Structure 1
Amino acid sequence: MTTPARSRSTRPLRPKGQGQWALGHLEPLNPNERMKKDQDGLAVRDRILNHYPYTGFAGIDPQDLRGRFRWWGLYTQRKEGIDGGKTAILEPEELDAPFFMQRIRLDGGQLTSDQLRVIAGISTRFGRDVADVTDRQNIQLHWIRIEDVPAIWAALEGAGMTTAEACGDTPRVILGCPLAGVDGDEIIDATPAIEETVQRYVGDTSLSNLPRKFKSAISGCADQCTLHEINDIAFVGAVHPEFGAGYDLWVGGGLSTNPKLGVRLGTFVAADRVAEVWYAVASLFRDYGYRRMRTRARLKFLVADMGPEWVRTTLEKEYLTAPLPDGPPPPPPRNEGRDHIGIHQQSDGRLAVGFAPRAGRLSGTTLTAVADLADRFAAGRIRATTTQKLVILDVDPAGADQLTAELAALDLVVRPSVFRRGTMACTGIEFCKLAIVETKAKAGALIDELERRLPDFDEPIGIHVNGCPNACARFQVADIGLKGSLVPDESGEMVEGFQLHLGGHLGVRSRLGRKSRGLKVTSAGVADYVDGLLRAYSDGRDEGESFADWVERADESVLAAPADRAGAVAPAEPEPEPASGASGAV
């Protein structure tokens, strides 16, 4: 464990007694802190490689299994057949299946075709041909056995990839724009800043014991696609009138059960200082972050309590080599969609082709086919997005139509419906021990049903399906956020369902979704509810009014019972179009 810095703050923290190292509160105050004090999470690597493959799952120490394994991207998988009503009742060992989810960190979402083939091969050989692209640009595999982890890591590391600090109380993957370096409208190419930060600090034991996870984004994207508003730290492309292109610094964003939007520090960060400033903020979080109660251990709580002025002052006085100049805010996003789906011209005249799986669910077999297409039609560069999508860079314009058709044959849609484009889903009860409801199949079925019922609906709409309150699918900032819970059906029996969060939005006017404690829907009734809600919006909106703006002013009664409108207009039977996204399995 790194020796904490002495307190040199110019202002006493409040509230006190929160386990902050910088104030001398060194005694671990919860089980996770005791586990980390016993041994650093990164130190479990040797046991994973050289001990546990021989003992098998039953021989894994519980502190390693449900603690330190996360420092290397391994989470225990949910045992099959356990319903959501038992999620919060059973002990962890009762929920564990003898398999793991393996998260592969892809900083900036960057992949080569050869790397994607390696991931695909691991999925087909060791993971029952399942792979998920996440909304943090990672790829996750499932059904992984401890006996196979050494071979998996050898394959990944041999291809230049890692699972280090993909989970745990560490600096997680750094988000970056998938079009970095090729988008002619970008403010600055953040690739060098991401690479320097990763090279210097991922795996650094000075940051491997943070109070909680630390989520980062570094991007000069004109669309602001890395969602700086909900990261612990974000560098957002901005142009200083004196110093030119660089970054505006944001801190303290995060969702989960107590969502908060990030705040600007009002500083300008030059490109050559990004890694230094990133490390300074992470170190401040390490030293001053709350460690007594795990539910308040994220940076967002410290920022909310102390304010951005204290954060900036403390950074400059205690952690940085020189103060940061004041800086302008970033310009508004070019595109509120922020997803890079479709065909976009690169600055060199080639094309970036972004396409949508179904709520991030893929297979190793499909990923192999994508890698082959990236070699046939482009230069073998592939990027993951923050909306569970993929992009192939450097496509020859002459081959774009053929590539689009071949992707469509894989149920990967370049010109998706608004429903395919805007729907995301977390892992859900299929694999996650925290989940209450199923998500991936529900999201896929919802896409199909909405495309059938509302074929002419073309307004951008985000529908995020989350299996529990922890917001892995960002339900609080979606137009329609579905938070998994148990709800009563018509007979009063508790069944799978969702609490509704409506009108969330990130962009020019960011805000969290509107919620009402009683606004819930059964899983079986989701399609009717969303259908009716979108019809109510279409009928009641002002010209040019977005869904989020309409929800903000809509009467509660309209939001509470829109299912009455479902099917009010008989849906036409549209002719299937190429790349419509209306077919295929989850």
Structure 2
Amino acid sequence: MTTQTTATAPSTTSENAAPARVRPPRATRPNGQWKVDGTTPLNHNEEFKQEAAPLGVRDRIESVYAHQGFDSIADDDLHGRFRWWGLYTQRKPGIDGGRTATLEPHELEDEYFMLRVRSDGQALDPAALRVLGGISADFGRGSADITDRQNIQYHWIEIESMPEIWRRLDTVGLETTTACGDSPRGFLGSPVAGIAADEIIDPTPVIHEIKRRYIGDPELANLPRKFKTAITGHPSLDVVHEINDISLVGVVHPELGPGYDLWVGGALSTTPRLGERLGVFVTEDQAPDVWHGVIRIFRDYGYRRLRNKARLKFLLADWGTEKFREVLEGEYLGYALPDGPAPAPATRPGDHVGVHEQKDGRFYVGAAPVVGRVGGNTLTGLADLIEKVGADSARLTAHQKVVVLGVPGDRVDELVAGLEPLGLTARPSLFRRSTIACTGIEFCKLAIVDTKDTAARVIGELEERLGDVTARVDRPIELNVNGCPNSCARIQTADIGLKGQIITVDGEQMPGFQVHLGGGLVGEGRDAGELGRTVRGLKVPAAEVGDYVERVVRRYDAEHTGGETFAQWAHRADEEALR
């Protein structure tokens, strides 16, 4: 595993020697673009990354902090560089959401950590699942969540435990390297890569090669902000490709055969922007170099002066796709990419829930926990079940689900039955299947309201109340619950997205949600992604979320026409129908 001891500016070696055909003009005020303004830091975040390289903090964790304890941790390591190894301090219990924006980080944080383990679309065999479950049981008080970035996320981790956690992860090929921080975050990979009967191209070799070459590379460890990657070759478009900094989506070129369509510049948060196609076709052999070119454009030209303008989406908005393509080809690749086709809209959900036949005659089975919560006992029990039925492994999904791979045909029913006691179901209700939630106020220092428990309660309420409606609805209605405006749970691209905030009802402040309706990505009935709409003044108390969702779903059930989706109806309905 690679570490570094010195900060690095953009390379001036031959890899960048080819001149770009378009050179962005110098801004009146420096934006911190390394190739335009130089590498002088313009804020403290940029200063600490150059003062001591972030990846080098692992050595201090293992040799100093794990022995001397939480109080020995230097501030810029604790609140900065630790993120490059997947560590954030978690929220101190008992601090209400109204105080989130008024307290300093040290006042909000506990002496325990959230730890994020990246899976990068990796197939997790029983040994890996047991390691993940054991870390939860031994160091995380039983906590473990599947995130919508295909990570496993723990809580209650002590700094003293990190050397042993890393040692265990190393034994099964898992890591926390750049799981957070201004770095290449964990990759979204198709959960059915290499096994699906209808797969266009297997993305596994590309993911492995990019990771082998570049994860832990000091040259890519100081980016303006986070950099998110998605790669799939499955026609269900199962990696939410439009909201990543870079996505490679499987397509078939009429002359060159299977390869990838390149998307860049997607991200949500408080300024949502869907990614855009560059219109190029990328072969499997070219894909690692293209990924490397795009991330270096972000490193070299991304805006570093203001953190809230430092994502790749802002650079793409200013440059446009034509200029971005010219710089990528002329300055970073040194060759032109051919034009290529766009991916077709998805014909089925990309969560892979249910039983599906593989191309080898075996089956894969997608199962839903409740809003991603699994825990150590579930992970260890899943390992035992996979071995018992003679299956191969499991993968995580971008929808907080798990997919069991390689199930023998005569053992599918046994597997499906065995998942239920583990808190997993291959036959979930409409809302258990389609609801995701971020960490929320229980552990997150940015959160304002509870999310996981609220969402679990609402699922139970809707299962009781909407049985008659869900029997008539033939497709999921996504309910995404987020504890703050940052949209880790993708609220703007859900059928019903809930953004946590403190609201005032009859003069009383309480936790509640702003509602986004009708969002979605390319899929069945939708040729392009679309952000959800908001209804002026519509805010729902947390205690009344179930009532609201029931009301709006029943209105949809009564008013939609033919095959009209919830999102299509929500965009045409008048505001009164959405209240």
TM-score range, shorter chain: over 0.9
Give the SS at the match of 1:185: coil
Give the SS at the match of 1:558: helix
Q: Which amino acid aligns with 2:157?
A: I
Identity %: 55
Match of 1:534 among 553, 556, 566: 553
- 1:256-311 deviation per Cα after TM superposition (whole angstroms, max 9, x unaligned): 11000000000000001110000000001000000000000000000011100111
Residue 191 of structure 2 is aligned to residue 178 of structure 1? yes
Rounded Cα–Cα distance in structure 1 between residues aligned with 2:97 and 2:53: 33
Q: Is the 8 A contact 2:378 2:423 kept in 1?
A: no
Rounded Cα–Cα distance in structure 2 between residues aligned with 1:452 and 1:109: 36
Rounded Cα–Cα distance in structure 1 between residues aligned with 2:27 and 2:444: 34
Q: Is the 8 A contact 1:464 1:481 kept in 2?
A: yes
Rounded Cα–Cα distance in structure 2 between residues aligned with 1:58 and 1:522: 39
Q: Is the 8 A contact 2:8 2:50 kept in 1?
A: no
Q: Is the 8 A contact 1:5 1:22 kept in 2?
A: no
Rounded Cα–Cα distance in structure 1 between residues aligned with 2:545 and 2:535: 16
Alpha carbons of 1:15 and 1:303: their partners in 2 closer, same or farther (altered >3 Å)? farther
Match of 2:538 among 507, 510, 519: 519
Rounded Cα–Cα distance in structure 2 between residues aligned with 1:403 and 1:15: 60
Matches within 5 A, 1:431-510: 431-458=443-470, 459=473, 460-489=476-505, 491-507=506-522, 508-510=527-529
Deviation (angstroms), 1:445: 0.6
Q: Is the 8 A contact 2:364 2:404 kept in 1?
A: yes
Q: Which amino acid aligns with 1:129?
A: G
Q: Is the 8 A contact 2:246 2:262 kept in 1?
A: yes
Match of 1:294 among 307, 315, 318: 307
- 1:63-82 deviation per Cα after TM superposition (whole angstroms, max 9, x unaligned): 00010000000010000000
Deviation (angstroms), 1:353: 0.6
Rounded Cα–Cα distance in structure 2 between residues aligned with 1:478 and 1:152: 35
Q: Is the 8 A contact 1:371 1:380 kept in 2?
A: no
Q: Which residue of 2 aligns with 1:33?
A: 46
Alpha carbons of 1:109 and 1:389: their partners in 2 closer, same or farther (altered >3 Å)? farther
Alpha carbons of 1:517 and 1:15: their partners in 2 closer, same or farther (altered >3 Å)? farther
Residue 363 of structure 2 is aligned to residue 354 of structure 1? no
Q: Which residue of 2 aligns with 1:2?
A: 8
Q: Which amino acid aligns with 1:430?
A: E
Deviation (angstroms), 1:141: 0.7
Q: Which amino acid aligns with 2:8?
A: T
Rounded Cα–Cα distance in structure 2 between residues aligned with 1:181 and 1:4: 36
Q: Is the 8 A contact 1:109 1:138 kept in 2?
A: no
Give the SS at the match of 1:307: helix
Matches within 5 A, 1:67-106: 67-106=80-119
Q: Which amino acid aligns with 2:359?
A: S
Q: Which residue of 2 aligns with 1:391?
A: 403
Q: Which residue of 1 aligns with 2:576?
A: 557
- RMSD of the TM alignment (CA)? 1.2
Q: Is the 8 A contact 2:92 2:110 kept in 1?
A: yes
Q: Which residue of 1 aligns with 2:229?
A: 216
Rounded Cα–Cα distance in structure 2 between residues aligned with 1:502 and 1:14: 40
Deviation (angstroms), 1:108: 1.3
Deviation (angstroms), 1:87: 0.5
Deviation (angstroms), 1:377: 1.5
Q: Which amino acid aligns with 1:84?
A: G
- 1:479-538 deviation per Cα after TM superposition (whole angstroms, max 9, x unaligned): 00000000113x321101000001001112310000134111000111111100001101
TM-score (norm: length of structure 1): 0.94
Report the count of equivalent residues: 558
Rounded Cα–Cα distance in structure 2 between residues aligned with 1:363 and 1:419: 21
Match of 1:313 among 307, 326, 329: 326
Deviation (angstroms), 1:362: 1.3
Q: Is the 8 A contact 1:109 1:175 kept in 2?
A: no
Q: Which residue of 2 aligns with 1:571?
A: none
Give the SS at the match of 2:180: coil
Give the SS at the match of 1:447: helix
Q: Which residue of 2 aligns with 1:545?
A: 564
Rounded Cα–Cα distance in structure 1 between residues aligned with 2:207 and 2:149: 15
Give the SS at the match of 1:51: helix
Q: Is the 8 A contact 2:191 2:397 kept in 1?
A: yes
Q: Which residue of 2 aligns with 1:584?
A: none
Rounded Cα–Cα distance in structure 2 between residues aligned with 1:115 and 1:331: 35
Give the SS at the match of 2:178: coil
Q: Is the 8 A contact 1:77 1:99 kept in 2?
A: yes
Rounded Cα–Cα distance in structure 2 between residues aligned with 1:435 and 1:482: 13
Deviation (angstroms), 1:13: 4.0
Rounded Cα–Cα distance in structure 2 between residues aligned with 1:72 and 1:3: 21
Rounded Cα–Cα distance in structure 2 between residues aligned with 1:195 and 1:478: 31
- 1:516-563 deviation per Cα after TM superposition (whole angstroms, max 9, x unaligned): 341110001111111000011011111111000000000011112xxx
Match of 2:297 among 284, 290, 297: 284
Give the SS at the match of 1:407: helix
Q: Which amino acid aligns with 2:224?
A: P
Alpha carbons of 1:109 and 1:421: their partners in 2 closer, same or farther (altered >3 Å)? farther
Q: Is the 8 A contact 1:156 1:162 kept in 2?
A: yes
* Structure 1 stretch displaced more, 409-418 or 272-281: 409-418
Match of 1:131 among 115, 120, 144: 144
Rounded Cα–Cα distance in structure 1 between residues aligned with 2:171 and 2:261: 36
- 1:386-429 deviation per Cα after TM superposition (whole angstroms, max 9, x unaligned): 00000110001111111111111222110111100000000000
Matches within 5 A, 1:155-170: 155-170=168-183
Rounded Cα–Cα distance in structure 2 between residues aligned with 1:554 and 1:44: 53
Residue 417 of structure 2 is aligned to residue 405 of structure 1? yes
Rounded Cα–Cα distance in structure 2 between residues aligned with 1:261 and 1:31: 29
Alpha carbons of 1:47 and 1:230: their partners in 2 closer, same or farther (altered >3 Å)? same
Match of 2:428 among 402, 410, 416: 416
Matches within 5 A, 1:148-297: 148-297=161-310
Rounded Cα–Cα distance in structure 2 between residues aligned with 1:521 and 1:415: 30
Q: Which residue of 2 aligns with 1:582?
A: none
Deviation (angstroms), 1:4: 2.2
Give the SS at the match of 2:121: helix
Rounded Cα–Cα distance in structure 2 between residues aligned with 1:167 and 1:206: 16
Residue 123 of structure 2 is aligned to residue 110 of structure 1? yes
Q: Is the 8 A contact 2:116 2:176 kept in 1?
A: yes
Q: Is the 8 A contact 1:109 1:385 kept in 2?
A: no
Rounded Cα–Cα distance in structure 1 between residues aligned with 2:365 and 2:468: 24
Query: Unaligned regions of 5+ residues in structure 2, if any?
Result: 1-6
Give the SS at the match of 1:239: strand
- 1:466-491 deviation per Cα after TM superposition (whole angstroms, max 9, x unaligned): 000111100110000000000113x3
- 1:81-138 deviation per Cα after TM superposition (whole angstroms, max 9, x unaligned): 0000010100000011000011001011431111110010010011000100000100
Q: Which amino acid aligns with 1:242?
A: E
Q: Which amino acid aligns with 1:396?
A: P
Q: Which amino acid aligns with 2:105?
A: P
Deviation (angstroms), 1:25: 3.2
Q: Which amino acid aligns with 1:421?
A: R
Rounded Cα–Cα distance in structure 2 between residues aligned with 1:520 and 1:483: 9
Q: Which amino acid aligns with 1:506?
A: L
Deviation (angstroms), 1:15: 5.0
Q: Is the 8 A contact 2:469 2:554 kept in 1?
A: no
TM-score (norm: length of structure 2): 0.95
Deviation (angstroms), 1:24: 2.9
Following TM superposition, the consecutive aligned residue runs of length 4 or more in structure 1 with deviations greater than 3 angstroms are 5-9, 13-16
Deviation (angstroms), 1:53: 1.3
